[in-house]
Amino acid sequence: MEQFNTLLKAAECAVTRCNSWNFATSNDRYDVKGLLVLAKTSDSENPIDEDSFYVVSPAGAIGLCEDGEDIDWLFLTGSSTDEDLPATLQTASQIKFCSKCGNGIILGARFCGACGVKLN
């Protein structure tokens, strides 16, 4: 779970992971170009506080963390709407990554959901 100070930086990371997003609170959909344009506009019109930051999930969803703990998911990935997004950063920090393929793994999982490798 990477952290970024601007939505544009977060979007630039997210576009390397998937190529369409749904806005969490509406049915608006964004492609790569649309997301980057929106991120630029948002950063210039509505910059976040110094102690806030954006996070990007392993699949490319973008969230805003305002208090260093709770995550407000803003953009959900269009391809994997079932992604199990953590509600807080503390949960997120417990996510491990598969040693074989690098996919994010929920704590306690016995197999990687992406490549199927058995986990220790």
* Binding site residues, Zn ion, CB under 5 A: 98, 100-101, 103, 112, 114-115, 117
Give the nearest distance from C-beta 9 to Zn ion in angstroms: 26
Whichever of 87 and 109 has its CB closer to Zn ion, that residue is 109
- Is 89 or 104 the residue whose CB approaches Zn ion more closely? 104
Residues pairing with 53 in the sheet = 65
Tokens read off for 88:
């807080």
* CB nearer to Zn ion: pick between 10 and 98: 98
* CB of 120 vs Zn ion, minimal distance in Å: 13
Q: Please, what is the minimum distance in Å from the beta carbon of residue 81 to Zn ion?
A: 21
Tell me the closest approach of the beta carbon of residue 104 to Zn ion, in angstroms: 10
∠ CA 39-53-65, nearest 5°, is: 105
Give CA–CA dist 54/66, Å, rounded: 8
What the block records as the tokens of 36 is 């980057």
Shorter beta-carbon distance to Zn ion: residue 71 or 98:
98
With contact defined as beta carbons under 8 Å apart, do 7 and 37 qualify? no
Distance CA 92, CA 40 (A): 26
